[in-house]
Amino acid sequence: FTLVVLGWSHFYQLLALFCLAIVLYKLTVLLMLKRALIRNFESFPGPPGHWLFGNILEFKQDGNDLDKLVKFGQKYPYCFPLWFGPFVCFLNIHHPEYVKTILASTGPKDDLAYSFIQNWIGNGLLVSQGQKWFRHRRLLTPGFHYDVLKPYVKLMAHSTKTMLDKWESYAKTNKPLEVFEYVSLMTLDTILNCAFSYDSNSVYELSNLINLRFRIFPYHNDLIFYLSPHGFRYRKACMVAHSHTEEVIKKRREALKKEKELERIQAKRNLDFLDILLFAKDENQQGLLDEDIRAEVDTFMFEGHDTTASGISFLLYNLACHPKHQKLCRKEIMQVLHGKDTMDWEDLNKIPYTTMCIKESLRMHPPVPGISRKTTKPITFFDGRTLPAESRIGTSVFGIHRNASIWENPNVFDPLRFLPENISKRPPHAFVPFSAGPRNCIGQNFAMNEMKVVIAMTLLKYELLEEPTLKPKIIPRLVLRSLNGIHIKIKNANQN
């Protein structure tokens, strides 16, 4: 019996030594990684960070984080590194020439930030890379041709009218109106009508959980997140979202079995995004797999509704805060519509001043405040500084749009910045609300059209008023949001 005990004792000692060796090995690897990261970023000065938490403690999630990034940008021209914990570092860039270098490539998105979203939206255009991305981009481009977008304008107008009718009680009572919730439902309704059927609650839940995961460093570990209550909610919401998507694809594929050409469908009804996906064929006459179609459907659902909702909500807020510009927009819209209460396709390009106001709002409050990439090869910037392959780079869209060396009085709302003669004086990459280069937003025309329709119909019906006691506390999530909502007051426009 004593020998057995001694044998087990010896076994446990060996097991303990083995575990200790594994821990020491892991620590050595991490320390080497830390040393390599410090060496890689040594030519890029930035804000000092905590040895364990990095710069995370600088950001309080209180509505001032983006302003803090702008202040860092004033101190560190072009770019600066930010540490998320001890072993993850992003080079945060905020100058057009740096942005040009990054966005000119078709390099992949960062595998950390975007990996959190991949379980939901799959390997669609937002996160795919290489030949798969090229193929999908080519096959999806016809889905955003103006012939397909044209009928969407009436659907956008219908969803907008439904939303504006719900606002009547606020116009009568002078109560503050929180617009983001209403606008988000409206843009989701537009997507449902323009593309396919879907479940809205799961989209909202997934967006929030992905943001939460990125902010909580231990949740970067797949196992820890999987075992957490938030991980359980995430998996449940993914299952609901995917089951809805799969059901829609299955039903539509069945309905289209007898049709061989898109033109025949278009003769009977308006095409939607799902029609384009199901009929897409490459040069070898190969279509998309159901898994790929689901990924693109989920990607379009996320990118097409949440980002546009952010852009429209902040546009309403900015015009409420700047009545002079709002009045000029309303006058222009009334002249173009000649008594109509809705927008048509032909009206979209006849409102230049309103379009400049939309662009200025996108400058001040970009719906996607940042984009991250991971380099596949060494990269040299215009000032001669270099980064090796496998480096993470965060493009601060908010920081570029508020860069005082590019934009005079960047915190002032001034639509005239977007007069053609003023645009020509700025670097092309000074304004990138839809990204730029080969991986720019494929749906930017869809988004701009929707913003024009919504603002035109809103200003026809209501005057927007600032609510100074409820200023938004803006925060970067997957899209730009406000901690306390986006509040304005409204009254009927014909009361003036």
Q: What is the pLDDT of residues 380-396, one digit of tens each?
A: 999 999 999 999 999 99
Least confident span in 23-27, 60-64, 174-178, 319-323 = 23-27
Looking up tokens 């927008």 gives: 343
Spatial CB neighbours of 288, under 8 Å, sequence gap ≥ 6: 136, 139, 277, 278, 280, 296
Total of domains in the chain? 1
Q: Among residues 289, 279, 198, which one has the least CA distance to residue 242?
A: 198
Residue 138 lies in a domain: yes
The closest alpha carbon to 146, from 349, 338, 308, 353, belongs to 349
Residue 88's SS3 state is coil
Q: What is the pLDDT of residue 255?
A: 74
**79 found inside a domain:** yes
Give dist(CA 426, CA 412) in Å, integer: 17
Mean pLDDT over all residues of the chain? 86
36 falls within a domain? no
CB neighbour burial string for 388-413, b if at least 16 within 10 angstroms, e if fewer: eeebbbbbbbbbbbbbeebbeebeeb
CB 305 within 8 A of CB 450: no
pLDDT at 460: 96
Q: Which residue type occupies 336?
A: V
At how many degrees (to 10) do helices 152-166 and 444-461 cross?
A: 40
Q: 56 — phi, psi (to 5°)? A: -55, -40
Q: What is the pLDDT of residue 198?
A: 47
Domain extent for 340:
41-492
Residue listed under structure tokens 């770019």: 79
Q: Determine the distance from the C-alpha atom of residue 434 to the mean position of all C-alpha atoms in its chain, rounded to a whole number.
A: 9
Instruction: State mean pLDDT over 478-496.
Output: 88
DSSP, collapsed to helix, strand or coil, labels residue 374 as strand
Q: What is the CATH number of the domain that holds 428?
A: 1.10.630.10
pLDDT at 114: 65
Closest listed residue to residue 427, CA positions, set 108, 103, 109: 103
Pairing of strands 370-374, 392-396: antiparallel
Domain for residue 170, yes or no? yes
Q: How far apart are CA 166 and CA 181, in angstroms?
A: 12
Average pLDDT over residues 165-176: 93
Contact assessment for residue 316 and residue 464, using Cβ atoms and an 8 Å cutoff: yes
pLDDT attached to residue 339? 87
Look at the alpha carbons of 108, 110, 115, 121 in this order and tell me if their dihedral is positive or negative: negative
C-alpha to C-alpha distance for 301 and 293, rounded to whole angstroms: 12
In a domain, 2, yes or no: no
Q: Residue 4 pLDDT more than 60? A: no
CA distance 327 to 350: 17
Q: What angle do CA 476, 197, 342 make, to 5 degrees?
A: 75
pLDDT at 312: 97
Measure the CA dihedral 69/72/77/79, to 10°: -50
Q: How far is CA 349 from CA 274, 365, 448, in A?
A: 27, 23, 11
Render pLDDT for 226-243 as a digit per residue (tens, 0 to 9). 899 998 988 888 888 788
- Confidence (pLDDT) at 13: 79
Binding residues for heme: 441
| Percentage above 70 pLDDT, the chain | 89
Residue set of the binding site: 441
* CB count in 10 Å sphere of residue 76: 16
Cβ(463)–Cβ(493) below 8 Å: yes
> For residue 109, is pLDDT > 80?
no
pLDDT reported for residue 197: 43
- Answer yes or no: is 23 within a domain: no
Task: Name which residue leads in pLDDT, 259 or 52.
Answer: 52
Residue carrying structure tokens 């990204």 = 435
Residue 60 predicted with pLDDT over 70: yes
Q: In this model, does residue 199 exceed pLDDT 60?
A: no
318 within a domain of the structure (yes/no)? yes
pLDDT of 144 above 50 = yes
Do strands 89-93 and 79-83 pair parallel, antiparallel, or not at all (unpaired)? antiparallel
Is 457 among the domain residues? yes
